[in-house]
Chain A
């Protein structure tokens, strides 16, 4: 080895330097993009933490020079109503009452359906799957009126009209969540080697045992992403909630926020504070499901 670096070594060093430089540039650009994306959310948070009276007087960014503006006042005001109907906590509860059952039902039914579509041996399951995929393109708006009518008919026939009730909204969301859910789960389950199920079968496991001891644990990443999608989708839904729960006493957060903006003098402090509250729940869901996004869960199964 000579003391003088060879041409190849010098080239490598040069390349590394350039790489480091370009990586720095990329990081700066990414940082800027992130800040740019975060500005609306941050401004919302700041507005919710400033007194109502300041809203018309100065911009939210003045908080950086005068941090004394910050106050929990808005939060104490909107939470002071407690769980009374029409308050933010009541809406939060209603949103959870709709979203949690929908998420659980969609995840559960989709997994079961996908299990049958992938590992079942009944005739025509490929066709059924194609029909389900086809259903994914149906926009839910076209179903609003027919479903309202259907609910009314149910009321006439069985004396049980889901219209205007939370179960009515849940049924609607589950029905429209299933095609995508089944599609996602089926595509994931096809990656699970059949040998695993057969091994379980030989060792004495029945269909249910195989489903929840072998298939479900392996499908967790798909179930987690489906749950997040479904949760956020239903959490943010305004249209279905308006149609089915429009005149209701208990309404989800989306309707609560919408009600605050539509009057001529919009209550921006309530909107911003309520919006921050409504962001928190999906964030919690996202971070708690995040750990299931493990790549390579199937590693070591075969070969």
Chain B
């Protein structure tokens, strides 16, 4: 087990003007579980495949342990990759699948047997060792793919959306299993997913990638509470953050920001006023998470708005309410016991701590 370091890693495919991966730098500590998240086509899988050695490096450096592996073949990098499709060898038994890599490396037979039995025990596959992949369920195949990685005891585990082919229930179960596995093995894991919930629940740290660029790296809590920019703010959290363009107005002794139609206004506290002063902007994008919109009038500083109810999604404990306020659409999460009907006008508020401000052009969070 060892650390993985990416230094200004860049990938450009032949015949493609844009960069698939643009100067991404990332340090993955020994034993850390890091998730690469981003929308599909953002370059996260490309990054993973470059670490694995399945894609060439256009520029930059990949370091595993303390050696640069740019020019090493995949087999010499001491990594294991769990494919999205599992990529099990259909003509081999579960035992054959899990022992294939060890056999190639000429590990003695009894050691292979011990390693496979051990992995099978961890993954609860002991009674399936003689079966072929076709005779297994999706969840079991997934575990065989994990087992194939575990037996090799690699420097780092790479996983490419390993849960995306499972149904929702199995996904939650396997998610916990992988987290437990990470805990147990203490292995360095790099996990690619487009599902921010997976990333939030499993990762020590998350790297958000968009259009080939690294947007932000941090713990799930950090990304949720202090997103670096509008993209990260919108990507992390479900339903995603509401964004409203606002205009900055000076009032006696402070600053107020107002939406275009005047349906929303915010009394900023001193910290936020100072942010806007420092940025020197006359417009700003306001962000507030649906779960932070309260169904009551504002008391003190913060946001207040009135909006009419368009759609109500009942989820049991609470409801996702889609609202329109002037020309803006918003989502709020309210207690399911609140009596609401479509067309109602609500007064919603948010405390000033729940408010995020972003630069109108660059999208960077104001500091």
Contacts and interface: CB of A to CB of B under 8 A. Distances in A.
Interface stretch (A33-41, A49-57, A143-151, A194-202): A194-202
B133 A202 contact: no
Contacts of B90: 218, 297-301
A302 interface: yes
Given A218-B91, A297-B90, A303 B53 contact: no
Contact of B87 (A199, A204, A205, A213): A199
Contact of B133 (A195, A203, A217, A300): A300
A23 interface: no
A302 B104 contact: no
B74 interface: yes
A202 B101 CA distance: 8
B134 A195 contact: no
Interface stretch (B23-31, B76-84, B217-225, B332-340): B76-84
A209 interface: yes
B271 to A, nearest CB: 50
Contact of B101 (A195, A204, A297): A204
Interface footprint category on A = 20 to 34
A204 B75 contact: yes
A262 to B, nearest CB: 50
B52 interface: yes
B75 A301 contact: no
Given A218-B90, A301-B88, A302-B87, A202 B134 contact: no
Nearest to B83: A195
Interface in B146-162: 148, 152
Contacts of A204: 75, 101, 104-105
B135 interface: yes
B91 A202 contact: no
A298 B133 CA distance: 10
Interface string A172-210: 000000000000000000000101101111111110010
A214 interface: yes
B231 interface: no
Contact of A198 (B87, B132, B148): B87
A139 interface: no
Contacts of A214: 89
Contact of B74 (A193, A201, A296, A297): A201
Contacts of B88: 300-302
A203 B152 contact: yes
B138 A303 contact: yes
Contacts of A298: 90
Contact of B85 (A209, A217, A303): A303
Contacts of A201: 54, 73-75
A297 to B, nearest CB: 6
B128 interface: no
Contact of B100 (A193, A198, A200, A217): A200
A299 B75 contact: no
Contacts of B86: 301-303
Nearest to A203: B101
B89 A202 contact: no
Interface string B56-94: 000000000000000001110001110101111111000
A300 B134 contact: yes
A204 to B, nearest CB: 4
Contacts of B101: 202-204
Contacts of A300: 88, 90, 132-136, 141
B75 A296 contact: no
B54 A198 contact: yes
A205 B135 CA distance: 25
Contact of A202 (B75, B105, B135): B75
Contacts of B105: 204
A106 B125 CA distance: 42
Nearest to B145: A199
Contacts of A218: 90-91
B104 A195 contact: no
Which of A200, A213, A300 is most buried by chain B, counting CB atoms within 10 A of its CB? Answer: A300
Interface of B: 52-54, 73-75, 79-81, 83, 85-91, 100-101, 104-105, 132-136, 138, 141, 148, 152, 165
Interface of A: 193, 195-196, 198-206, 209, 213-214, 217-218, 296-303
| A-B complex: 6 closest residue pairs judged by Cβ atoms | A300-B133, A203-B101, A300-B134, A302-B85, A195-B87, A204-B75
Given A300-B136, A303-B86, 15 more contacts: A193-B87, A199-B81, A200-B100, A202-B101, A203-B75, A205-B100, A213-B100, A214-B89, A297-B91, A299-B133, A300-B90, A300-B132, A300-B135, A300-B141, A301-B133
25 contacts: A195-B83, A195-B85, A196-B89, A199-B81, A199-B89, A201-B73, A202-B53, A202-B74, A202-B79, A203-B75, A203-B104, A203-B148, A204-B75, A204-B101, A205-B75, A205-B100, A296-B134, A299-B90, A299-B134, A300-B132, A300-B135, A300-B141, A301-B85, A301-B90, A303-B165
